[in-house]
Amino acid sequence: QVQLVESGGGLVQAGGSLRLSCAASGRTISNYAMGWFRQAPGKEREFVAAIRWSGGSTDYADSVKGRFTISRDNAKNTVYLQMDSLKLEDTAVYYCAALRTFLRVGASRIVDYWGQGTQVTVSS
């Protein structure tokens, strides 16, 4: 099966930067695209970014476009989320996900595996 292990969350001041990592393992991991989601207190879990293992295609939510960068290191089976110019509203639990397809299915994305989540807190 697929396992996703996240790291890199923490406390950062507004305007600062943080990089999250997601180490992926499993025989079938190459069958999936990778993504990041986040969930703030009292809010629904929302899509943040996605990437293919091959081809370099990326997708971002409008709220993070220009500030966040998703990348991957295929040799390490690791996906990263570089977060710059952080805002208070970026505070959330961030989840790594294995996506059935890079493309949206209708208005949604199909997630087959989730990471455990890592807390990101942005302070003023």
- pLDDT tens digit string along 7-59? 999 999 999 999 999 999 998 998 999 999 999 999 999 999 999 999 889 99
Q: Tell me: pLDDT of 64 over 80.
A: yes
User: β-pairing, 46-51 with 58-60?
Assistant: antiparallel
H or E stretch covering 124: none
What are the strands, taking DSSP E only, across 1-124?
A: 3-7, 10-13, 18-25, 33-39, 46-51, 58-60, 68-73, 78-83, 92-99, 111-114, 118-123
Structure confidence by residue, pLDDT tens digits, 82-91: 999 999 999 9
End-to-end CA, the chain: 41
Higher per-residue confidence, 107 vs 57: 57
CB contact at 8 A, 22 and 9: no
Mean pLDDT computed over 62-68 = 97
